[in-house]
Amino acid sequence: MSTFDAILQGFSVSLTPANLWFTFLGCLLGTIVGVLPGLGPAAGIGLLLPITFTMDPTSALIMMAGMYYGAMYGGSTTSILINTPGEAGSVMTALDGYQMARNGRAGAALAVAAIGSFIAGTIGIVALSLLAVPLAEVAIDFGPAEYFCLMLFAMAAVSSLTGSSVAKGMFATMLGLAVATVGVDLQSGLARFTLDVPQLEEGIDFLVVVVGLFAIGEVLSGIEQYLRGDTAVLRIQGRLWLTREEWRRSVGPILRGSMIGFFKGVLPGAGATISTILSYVLEKRLSKHPEKFGTGMIEGVAGPESANNASTCGVMVPLLALGIPGSATTAVLLGAFIMYGIQPGPLLFDTRPDLVWGLVDSMYVGNLMLLILNLPLVGLFVRILYIPKTILLPMVLAICLIGVYTINNSTFDVWLALGFGVLGYAFRKLDIPLAPIVLAVVLGGTMEQSFRRALSISDGSPAIFVSSGIAITLLIAALVMLCLPLIVALVARMRRRSRQAGGASVAH
């Protein structure tokens, strides 16, 4: 069956009434989670996952993917109206979006964010459909050694790119891997790092970590922000549409942002956030009035918002084709796949084409739904922002308790989640990135297994990790990722030196 046929077949899955309903539900919940302070897509999916155990996996995954890209739409709303990004991908949107709102163009800012996201989402899904299969074909011969190197590369990229310091990112990764080693070792049956606590024998569930770090920790940060004083919510003014002039100015940024976002999303690392920064910088450089950026330029909203949404399609490529997530939210999605007993990766395209293409095709439908949800109905979601934080944040805590409690019906997990919550709050203050922890917790088990399997094959010789071109390339790429900040600093210093030397010779 050709890929094209498979894509068409996928629509027969995604367009069933049940799956249409779950796409809608996912997009709706995603938008709400994106708007809500203290909840992002990673925590939202994590909280939803335990109650979907009994559902059909395809429908459940369609709903969770909907939540992921839906949150990107919702996040822009808070960026524009209260200057507080609902999630990390919307940070750049706040720069000009909030200023547009203050200038009375909130309607246009919200409209361009929604339209840009829609166009970018559509371009991204087409690219995803085209790119996923070739990538899966490359990966089909991967052995455990190649998989280990691939995971090492993904972790190196995420540690290096998500924070301000490689050392902190690397520590976060190691901490996540350490959490993943807690529990009974699968091959020897020995309990490791359990401290004789029986509840730890099955390991620490990644959902506990996700809800702790991203929901409870975020609520604590939200309370701190509230105690420092709140920002007022701006009213939506102006028609929710663009003038001809604004439309003309937005088309270029939307298309360029889509490209940047998609390809940045395919590469593991900070995905959405970095692509929005790149898009913003690019638009500023291309603009005839770079000095006006930050005062409410529509290009500064259109570009990053499109990049943000296209990157959610980009990150699905390595997730589906290789089984490797490139961000915290996709790590949670991978955890969801595994929980349903489905291993994403090259074989998935052959064994479950209905699931893969049903999921991908549901994203077309979902983006269309989100456009409708976010333009005519944006006023409804904004009302969530009028609910005082003093009520919203405790509500989120109560929802966290249910979400974690229902994983194993035990309060032990909730205690752990509270611990991770306090840790997440502290890490946020200390500028230690959280995404690498989640990625490592989800990938850690598989990573150790492929490490040990590779060494079993080679009878303990580490040479197996440099025995194939792919493995060597991935190892080098991982090293480059870790040294990237150092290389950048060195190049900058050399340039400065040569400029100083040049200046000195002129003075002579």
Partner 1 sequence: MTDILIVVAMAACTAAYAALAAAIPVLNIGDPLGPRAFPTLIAVGMGLSALLLLGEIWRARRRAAPSAPAQSQPPLGGRGILTLGAVVALFALYILVVEPLGFVLASAVFLMVCCTLLNRRAWRVHALVAVGLPLALYGLLAKLLMVPLPAGLLPF
Q: What angle do CA 341, 63, 162 make, to 5 degrees?
A: 80
Stretch that binds partner 1, among 118-126, 167-175, 300-308, 351-359 (CB under 8 A): 167-175
Q: Does 21 bind partner 1 (CB under 8 A)?
A: no
Among 87, 146, 218, 448, binds partner 1 (CB under 8 A): 448
Q: How far is the CB of 486 from partner 1 (least distance, A)?
A: 10
Q: Which helix (H) or strand (E) element contains residue 54? A: none
In DSSP terms, which residues pair with 374 in a beta bridge? Answer: none
Distances (CA, A) of 451 to 132, 174, 405, 461, 462: 26, 16, 33, 11, 10
Cα(38)–Cα(21) distance, integer angstroms: 26
Asked if 333 and 283 count as a contact pair (C-beta separation under 8 A), the reply is no
Question: 430 or 507, CB closer to partner 1?
Answer: 430
Q: Give CA angle at 209 (207, 213), nearest 5°.
A: 120
Torsion on CA atoms 35, 37, 38, 42, rounded to nearest 10: 20
Binding to partner 1 (CB under 8 A) within 49-68 occurs at: 50-51
- Among 40-48, 244-252, 394-402, 471-479, which window interacts with partner 1 (CB under 8 A)? 394-402
Q: Does 418 bind partner 1 (CB under 8 A)?
A: yes
Give the span between the Cα atoms of 349 and 251, in whole angstroms: 35
CB nearer partner 1, residue 50 or residue 344: 50
CA distance 63 to 363: 10
174 vs 233 by CB, closer to partner 1: 174
How near is the Cβ of 456 to partner 1 at its closest, in Å? 5
Please state the closest distance from residue 391 (CB atom) to partner 1, in A.
5
* 14: three-class secondary structure by DSSP: helix
Stretch that binds partner 1, among 78-86, 105-113, 250-258, 396-404 (CB under 8 A): 396-404
Structure tokens at 326: 């490139």
Nearer to partner 1, 306 or 450 (CB): 450
Q: Which of 285, 409, 503, 506 binds partner 1 (CB under 8 A)?
A: 409
CB atoms within 10 A of CB 508: 4
From 17, 198, 460, 503, residue interacting with partner 1 (rule: CB under 8 A): 460
Stretch of residues binding partner 1 (CB under 8 A), selected from 66-74, 288-296, 329-337, 409-417:
409-417
Q: Are 178 and 384 in contact (CB under 8 A)?
A: no
Least distance to partner 1 from the beta carbon of 86, Å? 20
Q: Is 428 in the site for partner 1 (CB under 8 A)?
A: no
How many residues contact partner 1, by CB under 8 A?
Answer: 59
Q: Binding partner 1 by CB under 8 A: which of 198, 288, 291, 430?
A: 430
Q: What is the DSSP string of 228-270?
A: H-PPPPPPP-S-SS--HHHHHHHHHHHHHHHHHHHHHHHSSSS
End-to-end CA distance of the chain: 73
Interface with partner 1 in residues 210-229 (CB under 8 A)? 216, 220, 223-224, 226-228
Q: Which is nearer to partner 1, 460 or 503 (CB)?
A: 460
Closer to partner 1 by CB, 160 or 367: give it. 160
Q: Which of residues 364-393 bind partner 1 (CB under 8 A)?
A: 388-391, 393
Residue 414 binds to partner 1 (criterion: CB under 8 A): yes
Q: Which tokens hold the place of 450? A: 């492929």
Contact indicator for 50, 413 with CB cutoff of 8 Å: no
Residue 391 class from Cβ within 10 Å (0-12 exposed, 13-18 middle, 19+ buried)? exposed
Query: For residues 323 and 320, what is the distance between their CA atoms, to the nearest angstrom?
Result: 6
Does 434 bind partner 1 (CB under 8 A)? Our answer is no
Nearer Cβ to partner 1 (190/506): 190
CB atoms within 10 A of CB 45: 30
In the complex with partner 1, which residue's Cβ is closer, 240 or 483? 483
Tell me whether residue 430 or residue 506 sits nearer to partner 1 (CB atom): 430
Selected range binding partner 1 among 9-17, 344-352, 378-386, 450-458, rule: CB under 8 A: 450-458
Per rule CB under 8 A, is residue 181 in the interface with partner 1? yes
Phi, psi of 183 (to 5 degrees): 120, -175
Beta bridge partners of 191: 184
Binding site for partner 1 (CB under 8 A): 50-51, 165-168, 170-171, 173-175, 177-178, 181, 185, 187-190, 192-193, 195, 216, 220, 223-224, 226-228, 388-391, 393-395, 397-399, 401-402, 405-406, 409, 411, 414-415, 418, 422, 430, 432, 448, 451-453, 455-456, 459-460
